[in-house]
Every structure is written in C-alpha cells, then in structure tokens.
C-alpha cells in the first residue's frame, strides 16, 4: 500500500469519512466554527493546507509539539530505531533504551536547584513508562494508594488530569463527568489557594495523595507560590503523597523543565507525557521514589503488578530520548520563557485599550486571555445576547477570526467560558510573536465595535448553536 498516494487520493473525503466512522459531533463543531481545514503538511510551528496556505499553530496538539512539528532530529532517530530491527516488546526482558531514558528523565526531574539535591531522600529514582498522560495519572493514583494504604485523593478545583475513569474522578469540569455514572470513590476537590480547606481534609489522615497541576491546563490558573510550599509541609505532616501532574506543563512549557520548579517544592511523584513523545510515538512516564516502588512491587511475584504492553517500546524510548536532547540543546526552554514574557507583555498593553479583556496570565508559553462583561451600554447588549444563547460563544468570536482571517490556530479553554488559551511550540520566533499580537489586537478591536463584523460571526454561531 502506498500511504502518500492513498492520502492524496482520498483527501477530499477527509471530514466525511471522519464523520461517518469516528466522531460526527466533532466534525459538526469543526464545520460550525470554520475549523474544517485540510492540513496536509506541518513543520516546526507551522501548518499548511492543501492550497499551500501557512498557519501559525498556537495550539501545538494540546502541548505535544514543544519541539515543533516533524522535527528532523526526531525523524532521524526514529528511522535509526526502525533500522536497528531490535527485539522489541519481548515483555520478559529489560529493554536497554528504557533504562537510558529513565536515567535521563530523572536527571531532569531532579535537576532543579529548588529540589535541594543534597537531600537525596527527596530525589525521584524510579520510572514507569506509559502511553499517555491519563495512564500516567491512573498509575500515580494506584501507586499512592498502595504505598500509603489509604484510599482518598485530593485534587484542585478546575483540574484536568485525563478522561479515563480514575483520572476523570479528579476532573474539576463537570461537563466531562456528566453521563458516566459513579467514578473512582474517595476523590475530593479543594479550592486552589485555600490552605484551611486543604489542611482540614489532610488532617483526617486518610488521604493517599494530593494531586495537582502547578499551572492548570484548563484556564491556566495557578495559586500563589506560598500555597504549594505550605501544601507540601501539610502533606509531609499528615503522611500524604504530593503528586505533580506535568503532562501539559512539563518539559519546558512554562520556561522551566517542570512547572513545579517555579514553586520550590519536591513532589513524591511526577507524571509526564505529551511533549515527551515529540509528536510521533505516544509515551508518558511516572517518576517516583524507590520507597514507593518498594511498597507497590513488594516482592518477586508482584514484579508486574502494574504493567502495560506498549509502554517501553523501542520507538517510544527513542522519541523520548531525542525530545529531551532537542529541548536542551536547542535552548527551547529558555526561548519559551523569553517568548512567553514578550507575548504576555504585549497582551497587557492590548488589555489597557479594550474593556472586555479582563485578565492576561501565564508562565512561559502557557498563556490565558480572559474576557469579561463590558461596562459600555452597546457592548453590554451584544455580550448579553451572545451569552444568553451560549455562555461559551464569545471566545469563539475571537478564535474563529484568528484562524479564518489571520491563519492562527488557538482554542477556547473549556466549555462555557470566556478564556482563550495559547499553547505555541517552544520554537516560535520574533516574527511569530509580532504576527500573533497584531492579529489579536485586530480581532479584539473588531469585537469592541457593536454592531460589527465580529458580532455577525457571533450571530451566525448562535444560530447554529440553537439549531444543533
């Protein structure tokens, strides 16, 4: 079979086939908001459609493409791994590349000066490889429960840790939970920043783990720095494990290797995925301490008490090793910090000009722009009309023209919210930053003219929402 020939010959069927056999509701959404493009090629931070138009990707596959799309070094390493014809997934073996990737990954996790490496008890020294972020978080839940002999899990409001049954129980967004019945019991949400509530729950002495995103993917929320430092103290005091979910915020996304480094804490378990794959072969990881391992894998007949089939496969390990090397050698983490600061500073200047832009927040290249109800009468009328139909439509009034007019791909971060999220590849440059800021100001300016073209987009979206 010639894959490229098959791709080209049936490209015109792309959305129809997907709607017929995979997810028709997703295709309806894409067609409604004008996101039904036919992308045929990608390189670095850019996507290209079949007409050859270039799009700036400020979504990066939900954070998968930290190193950019189709990175040549990653492609080369995967070709090399394929050509090696290794004895892959023997299962009853100990793959070399898995050991090497674990070694390199632990160096990064433990490398923070904030971790106080002189206290080796705080260092993580064991890795379990997974296929995804939700699988990594599922494993972390199991490990924490087994190691502590406790059942309860505490998580933060607004959290997103995955969509499988266990991690879904730690989800702070009801729209993902609705319709799926009872989930993992013993999971309790606490408000970020409220240490009194956290201490109250931990003092019951039945909490296995406090699971958190230092910078939350849904909305890019983060509590004050002192919150996590005190939370760590409380977890130590009450025998609860501290679990950092770095699936989206890790591997340079926030301008440091891991987001928890911004807060000076030392988690007991760190979960990683997304960017570790480089965008080709799914791979995730649970990094944890040996004393936790010893309680889970407590004797020889429990050596595979938690396992999977594909986690340590040759291509995944090669992808992970190359991704770490590229992120470091091409200074992408430093670039994320620099470009993120430029974007946030530019957005704050725009915020001063437009009343509906209420907040700009972020770390590195994980950025949220929040909108709020205006004070001026005309704009208030438009805002209220749109929100009466659907409380999530205003965000689409921003992301739709960013794509259709300016060819910049972004997203509304979650259901029924007025927050646009930016998650660009870490390789973006000056030109990309300037293009985005210019485009964003143009779109927001149009949103502040009522009636006007932006509100016509909102009107059309509202009609389609009502007829759905």
* pLDDT per residue as tens digits for the range 339-358: 999 999 999 999 999 999 99
Domain closes at, from 329, 348, 364: 329
My answer on whether 269 and 287 are in the same domain is yes
Q: Looking at the structure, tell me whether residues 63 and 87 fall in a common domain.
A: no
* Distinct helix (H) and strand (E) counts, the chain: 18, 15
| Confidence at 50, pLDDT banded by 50, 70, 90 | very high
* Whether 306 and 399 share a structural domain: no
Helix (H, G, I), strand (E, B) or coil at 221: coil
26 found inside a domain: no
End-to-end Cα, the chain, rounded Å = 39
Q: Of the residues 329, 344, 370, which one is the last residue of a structural domain?
A: 329
Whether 45 and 149 map to the same domain: the answer is no
Residue 466: predicted pLDDT: 67
Which of 289, 314, 329 is where one domain is finished? Answer: 329
Same domain? For 189 and 242 the reply is yes
Same domain, 318 and 336: no
Count CA atoms within 13 Å of residue 349 on its CB side.
9
Question: Starting from the edge strand earliest in sequence, which strands make up the sheet with 411-412, in order?
Answer: 357-363, 366-371, 419-422, 411-412
Q: What is the CATH number of the domain that holds 254?
A: 3.40.640.10
Q: In sequence order, what are the residues at sequence separation of 6 or more whose Cβ sits closer than 8 angstroms to the Cβ of residue 468?
A: 28, 32
What does the pLDDT average to over 266-282?
Answer: 97
Domain presence at residue 17: no
In a domain, 22, yes or no: no
312 and 433 co-located in one domain: no
CA distance 340 to 5: 40
pLDDT digits (tens, 9 = 90+) for 361-392: 999 999 999 999 999 999 999 999 888 888 77
My answer on whether 386 and 428 are in the same domain is yes
> What is the total count of domains within the chain?
2
Query: Which domain covers residue 242, as residue numbers?
Result: 76-329
Residue 5 belongs to some domain of the structure: no
Tabulate helix, strand, coil % of the chain (nearest 5).
50, 15, 35
Find the farthest-apart pair of alpha carbons in the chain and give their distance in angstroms, rounded.
Answer: 71
308 close to 131: Cβ distance less than 8 angstroms: yes
Residue at 242 is within a domain: yes
> Does residue 411 lie within any of the structural domains?
yes
Question: Do residues 269 and 122 share a domain?
Answer: yes
Does one domain contain both 367 and 304?
A: no
Nearest to 64 by CA among 132, 155, 146, 159: 132
Q: What is the CATH number of the domain that holds 359?
A: 3.90.1150.10
Report whether 178 contacts 149 (CB < 8 A): no
For the cut 90, the answer to whether the pLDDT of residue 437 exceeds it is yes
Whether the per-residue pLDDT at 116 is higher than 90: the answer is: no
pLDDT of residue 112: 60
Reported pTM: 0.95
**C-alpha distance from residue 121 to each of 100, 238, 323 (Å):** 22, 18, 28
Q: What are the pLDDT digits (tens) for 139-186? A: 999 999 999 999 999 999 999 999 999 999 999 888 899 999 999 999
Residue 169 and residue 62 share a domain: no
Considering the domain boundaries, does residue 265 fall inside one?
yes
Please check whether residues 132 and 178 belong to one and the same domain: yes
Residue 24: inside a domain: no
């Amino acid at each position: 079979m010639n894959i490229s020939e098959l791709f080209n010959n049936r490209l015109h069927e792309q959305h129809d086939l997907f709607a017929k056999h995979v997810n028709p509701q997703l295709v309806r959404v894409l067609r409604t908001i004008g996101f039904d493009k036919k992308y045929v090629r990608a390189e670095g931070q850019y996507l290209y459609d079949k007409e050859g138009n270039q799009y700036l990707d400020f979504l990066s596959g939900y954070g998968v493409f930290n190193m950019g799309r189709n990175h040549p070094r990653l492609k080369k390493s995967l070709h090399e791994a394929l050509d090696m014809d290794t004895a892959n997934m023997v299962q009853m073996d100990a793959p070399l590349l898995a050991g090497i990737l674990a070694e390199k990954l632990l160096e990064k996790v433990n490398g923070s000066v904030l971790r106080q490496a002189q206290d080796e008890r705080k260092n993580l020294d064991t890795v379990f490889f997974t296929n995804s972020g939700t699988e990594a978080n599922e494993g972390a839940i199991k490990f924490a429960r087994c190691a502590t002999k406790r059942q309860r899990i505490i998580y933060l409001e607004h959290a997103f840790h995955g969509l499988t049954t266990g991690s879904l129980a730690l989800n702070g967004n009801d729209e993902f939970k609705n319709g799926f019945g009872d989930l993992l019991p013993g999971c309790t949400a606490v408000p970020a920043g409220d240490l009194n509530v956290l201490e109250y729950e931990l003092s019951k002495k039945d909490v296995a783990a406090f699971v958190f995103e230092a910078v939350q993917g849904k909305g890019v929320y983060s509590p004050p720095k002192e919150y996590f430092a005190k939370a760590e103290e409380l977890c130590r005091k009450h025998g609860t494990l501290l679990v950092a979910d770095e699936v989206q915020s890790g591997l340079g996304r926030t301008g440091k290797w891991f987001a928890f480094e911004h807060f000076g804490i030392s988690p007991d378990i760190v979960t990683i995925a997304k960017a570790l794959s480089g965008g080709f072969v799914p791979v995730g990881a649970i990094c944890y301490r040996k004393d936790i391992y010893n309680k889970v894998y407590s004797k020889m007949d429990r050596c595979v008490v938690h396992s999977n089939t594909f986690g340590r496969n040759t291509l995944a390990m090669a992808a992970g090793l190359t991704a770490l090397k590229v992120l470091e050698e091409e200074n992408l983490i430093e670039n994320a910090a620099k470009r993120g600061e430029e974007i946030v500073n530019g957005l704050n200047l725009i915020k001063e000009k437009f009343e509906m832009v209420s907040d700009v927040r972020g770390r590195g290249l994980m950025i949220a722009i929040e909108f709020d109800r205006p004070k001026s009468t005309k704009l208030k009328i438009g805002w209220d009309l749109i929100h009466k139909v659907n409380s999530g439509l205003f965000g689409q009034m921003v992301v739709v023209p960013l794509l259709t007019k300016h060819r910049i791909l972004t997203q509304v971060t979650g259901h029924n919210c007025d927050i646009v999220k930016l998650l660009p590849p870490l390789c973006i440059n000056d030109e990309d930053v300037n293009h985005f800021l210019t485009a964003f100001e143009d779109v927001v300016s149009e949103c502040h003219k009522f009636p006007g073209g932006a509100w016509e987009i909102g009107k059309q979206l509202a009609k389609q929402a009502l007829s759905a």
